[in-house]
Amino acid sequence: MQGEFEKPYFAALTEFVRAEYKQYTCYPPGRLIFNAFNLCPFDDVKVVIIGQDPYHEPGQAHGLSFSVYDGVQFPPTLINIFKEIQLDLGKDIPMSGNLERWARQGVLLLNATLTVRAHQAASHQRHGWETFTDAAIKALSDGRDNLVFILWGGYARSKASLIDADRHLVLQSVHPSPLSANRGGWFGNHHFSRANTYLAEHGMAGIEW
C-alpha cells in the first residue's frame, strides 16, 4: 500500500481530512483512523469484513467496522450480528461490542470510508477513501490466498469485482441493519460457521467469533 500514500488523490484526501478534523468534530479519533490495519497486518489477515463508513455518534467509532468501544450500547446492526452468531454457532451474546478480539485473530474490519463528520453519515465519502480501501481489498485478493471476504449489503457487495473468487471465499448477504435484516436473508446466512469451515479446510485456525 505504500505507493498509495504517494499518489495525488491521497495528498488531496489528507488535506481534506485534516481540514475536517480541525473545523468539526469527526470520528474516529485521529490516532485510530488506521486502527483496522494496525491491529490486523497484511500477513495476518484471514477474514475481511467490509463496512461502509464509521459510526457518527459520540463514543462509538474506533476504526473497526461494526465495532464499538467497551461499555458502549450496541447499535442495532451489531445486535443483529451477535444474534446471527448465536443462531449459527450457539454462542452467547457477548458483554462488549468491542471487536478488537476479532481483529487480533486475523479479521480485517475495514470500512470503505475511514472517517466521518459527527452526526452526518457518509459525510466523508467520495473524497478518496474509497480509492484507498479498494486498493487494500485488491492487494489482499492479489497478494494472498484462501481468505474469506464477507460482504453485507449492496454497498459492500459492490466490492466483489475487486476479489478473485477463484482464490478466495466470498460470502454475500443482505446487511445486518434492522431495515434489511428483518426483510429476510440475514438470519440463517451462516457466514461465521462457513468462514471457519473454509479456514479449517485450508489449514488455518478458525475465528473465535
Model pLDDT for residues 69-95, shown as the tens digit of each residue: 999 999 999 999 999 999 999 999 999
164 catalytic residue (yes or no): no
Q: What is the rounded distance in angstroms from the CA atom of residue 41 to the CA atom of residue 25?
A: 28
pLDDT in tens, 21-73: 999 999 999 999 999 999 999 999 999 999 999 999 999 999 999 999 999 99
Smallest CA-to-CA distance from 113 within 174, 43, 172, 55 is with: 55
The pTM of the full predicted model, rounded to 2 decimals, is: 0.96
Average pLDDT over residues 126-132: 97
- Per the residue annotation, which of 43, 44, 53, 166 is the catalytic one? 53
Query: What whole-number distance in Å separates Cα of residue 57 and Cα of residue 120?
Result: 9
Q: What is the mean pLDDT of residues 168-184?
A: 94
Backbone angles phi, psi at 58, to 5 degrees: -60, 140
Question: What is the per-residue burial (b if ≥16 Cβ within 10 Å, else e) of 175-185?
Answer: bbbeebbeeee
Q: What is the mean pLDDT of residues 163-190?
A: 95
Mean pLDDT, residues 161-189 taken together:
95
